[in-house]
A and B are shown apart, each in its own frame.
Chain A
Amino acid sequence: MSAERIYIYKRYERFWHWSQALLIIGMMITGFEVHGTYTLLGFQKAVQLHTLAAWTLLTLWAFTIFWQFTTGEWRQYLPSLKNVLAMVNYYLIGIFRDAPHPFRKTVVQKHNPLQRLAYLALLAVISPLIWISGLFYLFYGNWQQLGIDRYLTLEWVAVAHTLGAFLITAFFFIHVYLTTTGHTVFAHIKAMVTGWEEVDEHHKAH
């Protein structure tokens, strides 16, 4: 089985991915400590790191949004319902029968249709939930000054933020699992490290 290599993840993209991964893992660990789920670093350290990570991630995102638009990569997140069922079918049945992957990564289309939907959900639902609640949380001390303490309670902001945190954590585990579904267990991870993805020949025949 010979393979063709395509350069799929550019340098900035890989930097963004891995630093974001690091930050989000950090935010999960510190966030749930702040939440009181366990004690690890101590509440104060957890809050400080969580806050620092939030600002760092915010800045990273600013750069990334810029990158997405200047490179046109943002189109990768446009959803298409075409072939979604084929993907579902693949994950539920095909994968166990060594059926060919219904989607072929290319430089123009690096996410499969299911992936696109998942990332869209992340971008459109979970992220705003976390970000908006997180920013309100961050600026709790200024609510009074801004006149928003009349409309909002910390409890609701915390509930929204915690809900977002649980969702992103669940997403994270699924995401990590799905990286193992390439043609080898570490194929996808390797691609995100080196930028080069190996594409099976027999897929090319399609």
Chain B
Amino acid sequence: MKLHVHFVVGACLSFCALFAHGTQEPAPPAAAVKQPSTSTTDHSKLEALKGPFTSGPEVTKACLSCHNTAGHQVMNSIHWTWEAKSKTTGKTLGKKWAANNFCGSPISNEPRCTSCHAGYGWSGKDFDFTKQENVDCLACHDNTGTYKKFSTDAGHPLYADREFEPMEGPPGKKPFKAPDLTKIAQHVGKPGRSNCGNCHFNGGGGDAVKHGDLDSSLKNPPRELDVHMAKDGANLVCADCHTFNAHQPSGSRYAVNPKDTHGFDLPKDDHNRATCESCHSQTPHKQAKINNHAKKVACQTCHIPEFARGGIATKMLWDWSTAGKMGPDGKPLFIKDDHGHLKYSAAKGDFKYGENVRPEYKWYNGTVEQVSIVDKLDQYIDKDGVLELNRIQGSASDENARIWPFKVMHGKQAYDPVNNTLVVNHVFGDDDTALWKNYDFAKSIKAGMDYAGLPYSGKFDFIETRMNWFITHMVAPKEKAVPCAECHTRAADGRLASITGVYLPGRDHNPLVDLFGGLAIAGAIGGGLIHGLVRIVTRRRKEQNQ
């Protein structure tokens, strides 16, 4: 009977507890199954696209003959201008200005770097940013998967087959095929993962190099790697979240929203879905306790346990200072590691790579102090003497701040110690100053700074730098989210060991309280033991006496 009562009461109580904690879970979004195009236009039937086309701009003109505002829309976008004004610091950033510790600046290296510009022909300072036929429609809208901008042709694809020897590849020329522009123009549509990936997976000059959470493994990822883009996951493409409005992409590393307080992006809203909350709301978990975490912890922090999980290593360190070594044959030295990754390149210096890397965590409140190529460096140098290229701002007391995951990229790069600025390094070009041709920093930096029209003392040195890359892709299945105990732990290598300003249960404790409590418990147990012992002894004596 007693047991019975206990059970019934217990069951009632547990039931109450469930109610106290449960909130309704919103219905999961219906799995999107990509159908063959539902477009009302079959581009292959259009007169304007009959071709044949012999150049990119020709195709663009044909596109604009119907899509007559598209050109100017694109020309307003960061994909065209490579400029972005930070809403929080007011600084002009974008690829043209923001310093990084990868390749450096596109200035003076245009034909190479602009192979990822959404346009044709930006080969130097006098590129005409107002000419709409220079917009590249195909890079984003090719649906055949065969369009490719050539790596050194200022954004143009090949127009004829070519033999070419890549700088860091195996020696010898390799044949490259020119894509069939006419066929491609007739098979255009919404951008898929590869359209974005052709550039964004290759940031920093190669697959996986830059971001850590963006590489070609995301073209067709398993669910383990990315629940959103996996075929057996939500099967989304980049633009499903990075929604475009008049060709302006949403979501940018120059303007990461630290905490989306708006939630669901409904049809009446701004059609900007580049936050988790846009689809998942601010309270997507069954347990209120977990939902509460979202006030202080970004979704990505728990849901992306590691980056570079797709089997492709990302660069973690790039040391330019060692560049320029020649092998015994007098030729530029290139050394690969056991995995086939270049670990030394005469053109670029030393590299370190990482796969399945645990991110580092920092408070982020919406402001990133990004160093621009024209900035004086003093205020950006951290206590440890390392130049923080984009300091992440925020603290526990900051209402807007949450704990975010980052890939921290380490570098050593050239700067001007007299003017105290970073430098533009002229790396690419078929001339007698380019670093990748002449292996001489003195010449290449002078040429880069002259070209950019920036003040240069003539002296250069190398400075250690650090750069933070938001980790926000490669979201793992929920079963693989970071377990509580990896943050709530006293271990020195706990994930949030370096996060300050919050009391973290399981990590933090007050040593005085613990000391007092330990003594109290020891006293209670010890006192009982001694008292009991004396009882036993005195009883024994009495029994012996009797």
Contacts and interface: CB of A to CB of B under 8 A. Distances in A.
Interface of A: 11, 14-15, 19, 34-36, 39, 42-44, 47, 51-52, 55-56, 59-60, 63, 91, 95-98, 140-141, 144, 153-155, 158-159, 162-163, 165-167, 169-174, 176-177, 180-181
Contacts of B5: 15
20 contacts: A11-B2, A36-B505, A39-B485, A42-B484, A43-B485, A43-B506, A44-B484, A51-B21, A95-B535, A141-B292, A153-B503, A158-B505, A158-B508, A162-B509, A162-B513, A163-B513, A166-B516, A171-B524, A173-B521, A173-B528
A159 B516 CA distance: 12
Contacts of B508: 36, 155, 158
Contacts, number: 130
B145 interface: no
A98 B528 CA distance: 18
Given A42-B483, A44-B484, A173-B528, 14 more contacts: A34-B506, A43-B488, A51-B21, A55-B13, A55-B16, A59-B12, A59-B13, A144-B295, A155-B508, A155-B510, A162-B509, A170-B523, A173-B521, A173-B525
B502 interface: yes
Contact of B542 (A51, A98, A153, A171): A98
Secondary structure type dominating chain B contacts: helix
Interface string B281-303: 00000001101100100000000
Interface string B303-323: 000000000000000000000
A176 B216 CA distance: 64
Contacts of B510: 155, 158-159, 162
B544 to A, nearest CB: 14
Contacts of A181: 535
A158 B503 contact: yes
B6 A19 contact: yes
Contacts of A95: 535
A167 B517 CA distance: 7
Interchain residue pairs A-B with the least CB separation, the first 7: A166-B517, A141-B292, A177-B528, A55-B17, A155-B503, A43-B485, A173-B524
A112 B432 CA distance: 100
B54 interface: no
A24 B6 CA distance: 15
Given A14-B2, A159-B510, A177-B532, A141 B527 contact: no
Given A35-B509, A174-B527, A177-B531, A47 B484 contact: yes
B interface bracket (residues with beta carbon within 8 Å of A): 35 or more
A55 to B, nearest CB: 4
Nearest to B487: A43
A55 B528 contact: no
A144 B294 CA distance: 13
B503 A154 contact: yes
B546 to A, nearest CB: 11
Interface of B: 2, 5-6, 9-10, 12-14, 16-17, 20-21, 288-289, 291-292, 295, 483-485, 488-490, 502-503, 505-510, 513-514, 516-518, 520-521, 523-525, 527-528, 531-532, 534-535, 538-539, 542
Contacts of A177: 524, 527-528, 531-532
Contacts of A167: 517, 520
Contact of B517 (A39, A154, A158, A163): A163
Contact of A166 (B9, B288, B520, B525): B520
A15 B485 CA distance: 35
B360 to A, nearest CB: 21
Contact of A34 (B505, B527, B539): B505
B455 to A, nearest CB: 50
A42 to B, nearest CB: 6
Contacts of A153: 503
Contacts of B503: 153-155, 158
Nearest to A178: B528
A178 to B, nearest CB: 8
B318 to A, nearest CB: 37
A114 B221 CA distance: 70
A101 B507 CA distance: 48
Contact of A96 (B502, B514, B535): B535
Given A154-B503, A159-B513, A141 B9 contact: no
